[in-house]
Chains A and B, each alone.
Chain A
Amino acid sequence: MSVKDTVIQIIAEQAVLDVEDVTPNSTLDSLGIDSMGLVESIFAIEEAFDISVPFNANDPSASEFDISSVASIVAAVEKLVADQS
């Protein structure tokens, strides 16, 4: 499974939606994922890819990890996975 598919699966599970309903343009807000859901999603991403995501819940916008859309999250995860290998 690609990074994109895995991330979408994680986000869909968190939002209790079908994967088809999670598009690259979706925002977490539009999917109904709150701050708790976001932290849980990041944990699931870290577990799935065995990476460490630089994210501080105190000030998400200041983090290097861009969570503005599903596409930005996928891109950030792809970069982290690439950097690691």
Chain B
Amino acid sequence: MKRVVITGAGTINALGHNVPQTLAAMREGACGIGPLEIRDVDRLGVQIGGQVHGYDEHTHFNRQQIVLYDRFTQFTLLAAKEAIGQSGLTFAGELAARAGVILGTAGGGVNTWDDNYRSVYEDGKNRVHPFVVPKLMNNAAASHVSMEYNLKGASFTVATACASSNHAMGQAYMMIRSGIGDVMVTGGSESMLCFGGVKAWEGLRVMSKDVCRPFSANRNGMVQGEGAAVFVFEEYEHARTRNANILAEVIGFAMTSDASDIVMPSKQGAARAIEGALKDGHIAKERVGYINAHGTGTAANDKTECAAVADVFGAHADNLMISSTKSMHGHLIGGTGAVELLACIMALRDGVIAPTIGYDEPDPECALDIVPNVARDAEVDVVVSNAFAFGGLNAVLALGKV
């Protein structure tokens, strides 16, 4: 089987408009969560989020593009530009045919749905713009990336709620590993911080109204974020031959299904996914130094996740670090695993473990080293990234140094 490495990374999220800004914010333990600036926010019970600020679509895209690019597609294209630019790859001929794009999103063009429903229901209009469908469809972002960069191989979009990005990146990994393609542009994007998007989440009553405090005893729920992160996954020999700058190696992946409940997570399902990723990569448990937790800040997730980690790692669970960067960038739903992979790469490359901020009270049911509030310098050999979705669909990636 072929080895798979990461040769490019790009992002835009509440912590920064590119990777260097985002990693600097993670190192500082900065918080990207704040008051939402969206239409009708006064009618929302939840008025905070990890919103991308200082962003004007007109500085990046022309009018004809904006007509076709929902915000989630715009974020994807900006992240892809940074990632592919860093990789130094251009796609033509055989390489183009063996390169694809696999992205995750839970909601796709939620802003487009919201704007146009508002137009026909609230404003009483009887026609909408002809490109509403191609703008809102979940695969719009993947398709625009394929068109922009001439990626002609396997391309599609994965929707598994909060695990979408991890499922997408896992799929990209498996495709290169098995020889289906040489390069996969992968990651995910989400943009549902609009009135309808937040209102829907409010209904579940799992949202915090003030701050996201994963693993802290006084946590009171999750906070939504938005943005994208995109990576270039490349076959190792292909990358080595062209002397590419290798950021990290993808060394293991597993996915499981709880097959039990549409919203409540299962310790067994999570543990089987973590265990599966280690087994897949023939990784000894003791080698894992850091876990980027799913860590949503809900009671249901955090307790279950910590119990699953304790089960899988046994005594070593007390030696490893586990943090939730959602405390800083919010929960990007279908894009979250992609942004969180940046923290994993930072841990491996820079020896900096991103903290869990907002932490102020230990919870005996989350008694792990959650790297509270302040980033930590530490050499780690292998890192793991967890994603556990509504619907009980779990996807876990393991990364190592090359």
- Residues 39-83 of B, flagged 1 when their CB comes within 8 A of A and 0 if not, give 000000000000000000000000010010000000000000000
Contact, CB under 8 Å: A43 / B67: no
Contact, CB under 8 Å: A39 / B127: no
Report if A59 contacts B (CB, 8 A): no
Report if B129 contacts A (CB, 8 A): yes
- Cβ–Cβ < 8 Å partners of B131 in chain A: 36, 40
For the complex, give the distance between the alpha carbons of A47 and B131 in Å.
15
Report if B130 contacts A (CB, 8 A): yes
- Cβ–Cβ < 8 Å partners of A36 in chain B: 130-131
- Cβ–Cβ < 8 Å partners of A40 in chain B: 67, 129-131
- Cβ–Cβ < 8 Å partners of B64 in chain A: 16
Which chain B residue shows the least CB distance to A40?
A: B130
How far does the Cβ of A40 sit from chain B's closest Cβ, in whole Å? 6
For the complex, give the distance between the alpha carbons of A39 and B68 in Å.
13
- Cβ–Cβ < 8 Å partners of A47 in chain B: 127
User: With contacts defined as CB atoms under 8 Å apart, how many contacts are there between chain A and chain B in the complex?
Assistant: 15
Chain A interface size, under 10 / 10 to 19 / 20 to 34 / 35 or more: under 10
Report if A5 contacts B (CB, 8 A): no
- Cβ–Cβ < 8 Å partners of A43 in chain B: 127, 129-130
For the complex, give the distance between the alpha carbons of A71 and B194 in Å.
43
How far does the Cβ of B116 sit from chain A's closest Cβ, in whole Å? 13
How far does the Cβ of A43 sit from chain B's closest Cβ, in whole Å? 5
Report if A64 contacts B (CB, 8 A): no
Report if A46 contacts B (CB, 8 A): yes
- Cβ–Cβ < 8 Å partners of B129 in chain A: 40, 43
How far does the Cβ of B200 sit from chain A's closest Cβ, in whole Å? 28
How far does the Cβ of A5 sit from chain B's closest Cβ, in whole Å? 21
Contact, CB under 8 Å: A46 / B127: yes
Looking at B64, B67, B127, B130, the one whose CB has the most chain A CB atoms below 10 A away is: B130
Which chain A residue shows the least CB distance to B130?
A: A39
- Cβ–Cβ < 8 Å partners of B130 in chain A: 36, 39-40, 42-43
For the complex, give the distance between the alpha carbons of A36 and B64 in Å.
11
Task: Give me 12 A-to-B residue pairs in the complex whose CB atoms sit less than 8 angstroms apart, sorted by A's number.
Answer: A36-B130, A36-B131, A39-B130, A40-B67, A40-B129, A40-B130, A40-B131, A42-B130, A43-B127, A43-B129, A43-B130, A47-B127
B interface residues (Cβ-Cβ under 8 A, vs A): 64, 67, 127, 129-131
A interface residues (Cβ-Cβ under 8 A, vs B): 16, 36, 39-40, 42-43, 46-47, 52
